[in-house]
Amino acid sequence: MPVITHISSPLVSAVWLHTNLEAENLIVLDATINKQIDEHSVRIPKARFFDIKKKFSDTESSFPSTLPSADQFQQEARKLGIQKNSVIIVYDDKGIYSSARCWWLFKVFGFTNIAVLNGGLPEWKNKGHRINTYDNFEFSEGDFVANFNPSLMTNFEGVNLFSKDNNVLIIDARSEARFTCQVDEPREGLRRGTIPNSLNLPYTELLNDNLMKPKSELQVFFNNLKLENNKVVFSCGSGITACILALGATVCEYKDLIVYDGSWTEYGTLTN
């Protein structure tokens, strides 16, 4: 079986994945959020379930889906058979949603040989490729090593400093209605509001149905927000869709990107 040495793009197509699916060091992760795995659950062949909620977040945190420790991430990644030389393709069942969070988490913990399947499981099905159920699938424990990169994530204290810095842009991925406080937040008891000096770019603007828009179209959005020569912090409701904006910006080759881990759930809770 062939070996893939490096993956150069943050996105790959269903055609690419189908062509390379039997590569010896390729690992496919299903990062569908809140997925219940049973004999009826479907997956791309050989996909392993990346459980954001129960395995790859701090389950003791007051806020949802927050960053796990490096030890926890390393331990759980090894259980999935991830090796130092693995190449990872991650997808979810919405198209591009929680898969971007998985992609960003691996970057935070020092692993860059990972890409998101553009269009996710819906695109895989649209291309007529085979799917399996979650039957028994054994693999050896991996030797993945987590190396935490704190520059890629920020917290409540950090985002407060960034909001006062003229050289930093804070971009919120929530819908316009949520950003402008026209509707209640979906999380019960969470107040409406925005982070001071933040701008709005709903993550849905970056997508055509299940697929990420072409680079040329993404660049228009980011040019309008004047990302060039600025540090950029992405926020959302709970740190999931902020990573979609980070993915789009990475496609457009922006470098100085940060995700606010707790996002509005944390900020709105800790402020009046």
pLDDT digits (tens, 9 = 90+) for 159-196: 999 999 999 999 999 999 999 999 999 999 999 999 99
In whole angstroms, how far apart are CA 14 and each of 105, 113, 117, 227? 22, 17, 7, 30
Q: Out of 102, 181, 236, 252, pick the active-site residue.
A: 236
C-alpha to C-alpha distances, 151 to 60, 181, 232, 236, 255, nearest whole angstrom: 23, 30, 12, 18, 11
Q: Is the pLDDT of residue 136 over 80?
A: no
**For 58-67, how does the pLDDT look when each residue is reduced to its tens digit (9 = 90+)?**
999 988 889 9
Question: How large is the average pLDDT for residues 55-81?
Answer: 95
Number of H helices, E strands in the chain: 9, 14
The closest of 83, 79, 263, 103 to 172, measured between CA atoms, is 263
In angstroms, the CA 125 to CA 142 distance is 29
> Average pLDDT in the 206-233 region?
93
Q: How confident is the model at residue 229 (pLDDT cuts 50, 70, 90)?
A: confident
Cα–Cα distance measured from residue 193 to residue 173, given in angstroms and rounded to the nearest whole number:
13
Give the pLDDT score at 178: 98
pTM of the model: 0.96
Residue 45 tokens read as: 């062949």
Query: Which percentage of the chain shows pLDDT scores above 70?
Result: 100
Backbone angles phi, psi at 168, to 5 degrees: -120, 135
User: pLDDT band at residue 197, thresholds of 50, 70 and 90?
Assistant: very high
The sheet carrying 198-200 orders its strands as 153-154, 257-260, 231-235, 168-172, 198-200
Specify whether the CB–CB gap between 210 and 123 falls below 8 A: yes
Domains of the chain: 11-148 (3.40.250.10), 151-270 (3.40.250.10)
**CA distances to 10, 22, 113, 261 from 152, in Å:** 16, 32, 16, 10
For range 105-125, the mean pLDDT: 98
Q: In what order do the strands lie in the sheet with 11-12?
A: 11-12, 114-117, 87-91, 26-30, 48-49
Dihedrals phi, psi of 145, to nearest 5 degrees: -120, 125
* Nearest partner of 163 among 201, 199, 196, 200, judged by Cα: 196
What average pLDDT score do residues 213-220 get? 96
Return the minimum-mean-pLDDT range out of 123-127, 129-133, 172-176.
129-133
Residue in the block written with tokens 């424990």: 141
Q: What is the mean pLDDT of residues 122-140?
A: 90
- Is 236 one of the catalytic residues? yes
pLDDT on residue 174: 98
pLDDT beyond 80 at 103: yes
The pLDDT of residue 99 is: 98
Mean pLDDT in the chain?
Answer: 95
